[in-house]
Structure 1
Amino acid sequence: MKVKNLQNTLVSIIVPIFNVKAYLKECLLSFINQSYKNLDIILVDDGSDDESLEIALEFASKDERILVLSKPNSGQASARNLGLEFIKGSALREFLESESFIQKNNDFNSNENSSIQSFLKTHTFDKITKEISHTEIQKHFIKIASNFIKTDLENINELLVQNLPSRIIHFVDSDDYIKPDCIELCVKNMLEKNLEILVHNLVEFHESAKEFKNKPKLPTLKKLNKDEYNSGLELLSENKIYDFYFAWQGSFKSEILNRYNLRFTHAIFHEDHDFGTILFALAKKIAYINEALYVYRVRVASTMSGQKVKQMPQKMPSFLLELKPYFKDYQSLRAYFKAYCFVRLALVIEDFYNQMSLQDENFKLKFKTFFTLSTLTYLKIFKISLQNDPLDIKAFLAKFKLSKATILSHFFKDLHRQPKKLKFISNLKYLLKKDNQ
């Protein structure tokens, strides 16, 4: 289908920012230089203490398409979720940008009877709503300028979860950047092929060597046997992709999120695994283009590469700071927290399958094997001891509804392939604690 007036489609670019002053200008310039101009650029500063916020505000002062949000440091997931609630056209954004929201000497001009509709929680098909009064919202937000808003909320979804306006969304990490035609090609492909998700390739920039490295195909989708699928689950299940993640690897329609009140799981790392799996499981037509539209920076210190650092960082999200007294160094803290994150996200994926199965018996039968293997893939329970367990991973393991036979069959095969894991085989008892088959 040939698309006329391509630029009529508004695209929201959401960027979580934390202490990236060395890279942020290059990232933001890549948005300014896009061939596609109809952009809603949302920059979410997650409590930076370098000059990142100032750089974001400098760009916002010169481009009215940019909205800057500032929040307490609580991780990339929380920053992305705040950005989602602020996409242009959302009730929250319209209220906070309206003339009725004017702060004067800590008094607000607002109709106290006004409110915003919110779902009760994320990660559910339940569409029961509540009303969040404008007065309640005003307690948590300060409008510093027309395109600069501050909040005291670490987790926006504890306050509200909105039905998002129809939009194409693309996440970008603040130390990366996108090619000049990235958004144009995303929109063109999505509209012409009637897609709900468009995935593209990347090129890596290795900071230490100062060189670019091309990838024959996006690493998570290197098994693909074709480039278009009638659903995201068809893509994942046919290609047996059980360990999957998606956030900045392409663009998607906001309507997918509304089907399940889907957001990133708060207060974990690796949150793009459960988010990506469920996003694809909810999506209809999807396609992959093998064009490197995203430049992924491989740097020495980042969320992922920092796992080998032993010294405790001076600044950590609150959910990591609480763990500090329990561990002698940052490496052991991160190893424990990584195991916790994967258990949490596996539980989120299993819960989605169980909720979906209640609605659709055919879905339950057709995709049982896929979701079982996806869930089990993330249960990395043989890598650490659970004697020191401040987040109570043991209790989360007991919540899984997998049968004992399925668990034993999977993990005995795993132990046969990697016998070193026998060191922590006692962890298996927590997963077998109860059988809710």
Structure 2
Amino acid sequence: TRSFDAIELWGDKKWFHWVCKGAFNIDLLNNLRFCPTIHAEDTPFGIILFAKAKQIKLLNKQLYIYRIRANSNCEYNMTQDSPLLAYPPSLADIAFEFRNRINYRPYYYSYSSMYASLGLLDFMQTLQDNALKDRIRLFIINFVEAAFEDEKICHKNPRHTRELLKPLKPYMQKVRFSRKMGYYAPWLYRVLKKAQTIKNKIKSDC
């Protein structure tokens, strides 16, 4: 094994998930904890943990087995009629608004990406290492793009996240203009989208 720093280990990865694939010095935790109410809570946790580490070593051994559990919050194999199964109290507002797993899950993912972006932004602002700050900035840009990924966020927003996104405006380089419009001017987005639908229908009928 050899030692790595976080930037070398991350390489050009768009995401970095880490929680139970190794051991770490507990002193690195300090006040670092999971946020139990977001999707993929190991992503911001792992990024910050590795950024704080002075030395990282890899073992080229399979020590971890991933078990796929049916009906988990991470399941992607869903259809429009997938039932709304049991959900934690922290998701009650989202589940009530969307009523359906295939509808509420993308919103939950977008909300979680926004929340992770804000956490990484707070952490980045404490760093002195410019190279590390630049690399964290790239993670934030990817998270912000994911926060706008779900079109449903343009129509329903039970957690009223528009105000929370204000600090993230400098990191929206990858967010499509139409998604920004849908989020910040949903009424205009709906009008334009309806007009486009009518236009397409007229074309198909001609």
- Could you say which TM-score interval applies, normalised by the shorter chain? 0.7 to 0.9
**Superposition map of 1:296-335 within 5 A:** 296-305=66-75, 308=78, 310-313=82-85, 315-335=86-106
Pick aligned residue for 2:23 from 244, 251, 259:
251
Displacement of 1:428: 6.3
Structure 1 residue ranges (4+ consecutive) displaced by more than 6 angstroms after TM superposition: none
Structure 2 unaligned spans of 5+: 186-206
CA–CA distance in structure 1, aligned partners of residues 39 and 18 of structure 2: 13
The structure having more radius of gyration, on CA atoms, is 1
Instruction: Give the Å deviation of 1:349.
Output: 0.6
Q: 1:299 to 1:267 in 2, by over 3 A?
A: closer
CA contact (8 A) 1:240 1:370 kept: no
Q: 1:322 to 1:407 in 2, by over 3 A?
A: closer
Q: What amino acid is aligned across from residue 3 of structure 2 in structure 1?
A: E
Q: 1:344 to 1:304 in 2, by over 3 A?
A: same
Q: Partners in 2 of 1:375 and 1:248 — Cα distance?
A: 23
Structure 2 residue 157 is the aligned partner of structure 1 residue 389: yes
Structure-2 separation of matches of 1:301 and 1:325 = 18
Deviation at 1:304, TM superposition (A): 1.0
Letter in 2 for 1:267: T
CA-atom RMSD, angstroms?
A: 2.4
Deviation at 1:293, TM superposition (A): 1.1
Deviation at 1:369, TM superposition (A): 2.5
Give the counterpart letter for 1:247 in structure 2.
V
Structure-2 separation of matches of 1:426 and 1:299:
37
Alpha-carbon distance in structure 2 between the residues aligned to 1:253 and 1:338:
30
Structure scoring higher RCO (CA < 8 A, sep ≥ 6) equals 2
Could you list the per-position Cα deviations for residues 390-420 of structure 1 after superposition, in whole angstroms to 9, with x for gaps in the alignment?
11121221132x53xx634x33xxx5xxxxx
- 1:345 partner SS: helix
Kindly provide the CA deviation profile for residues 74-119 of structure 1, in whole angstroms up to 9, marking residues without a partner as x: xxxxxxxxxxxxxxxxxxxxxxxxxxxxxxxxxxxxxxxxxxxxxx
* Distance verdict in 2 for CA 1:427–1:396, change over 3 Å: farther
* Counterpart AA for 2:179: F
Q: Is the 8 A contact 2:94 2:158 kept in 1?
A: yes
Equivalents in 2 of 1:345, 1:266: separation in Å?
Answer: 12
User: Are residue 355 (structure 1) and residue 130 (structure 2) matched?
Assistant: no
Give the Å deviation of 1:253.
Answer: 1.4
Measure the CA separation in 1 of the matches of 2:118 and 2:18.
Answer: 18
The within-5 A match list for 1:22-421 is: 227-229=2-4, 231-236=5-10, 239-258=11-30, 261-305=31-75, 308=78, 310-313=82-85, 315-356=86-127, 360=128, 363=129, 365-379=130-144, 380=146, 381-385=148-152, 386-400=154-168, 403=170, 407-408=172-173, 410-411=174-175, 415=176
CA contact (8 A) 1:382 1:427 kept: no
Whether 1:424 and 2:191 are equivalent positions in the alignment is no
Q: Deviations over 1:248-300 (max 9, x none)?
A: 11111111102xx1001131121001000000001111111121111112343
For 1:307 and 1:318, how far apart are their aligned partners in 2? Answer: 23
Q: CA deviation at 1:387?
A: 2.5
**Which structure dedicates a bigger proportion of its chain to helix?**
2
**Aligned-residue offset at 1:243:** 0.7
The question of whether the paired residues in 1 share the 8 Å contact of 2:121 and 2:140 is answered with yes
- The answer to whether the 8 Å contact 1:242/1:370 transfers is no
Q: Per-residue displacement from partner, 1:163-222 (whole Å, max 9, x unpaired)?
A: xxxxxxxxxxxxxxxxxxxxxxxxxxxxxx8xxxxxxxxxxxxxxxxxxxxxxxxxxxxx
Cα deviation, residue 328, structure 1: 3.3
The aligned residue for residue 213 of structure 1 is: none
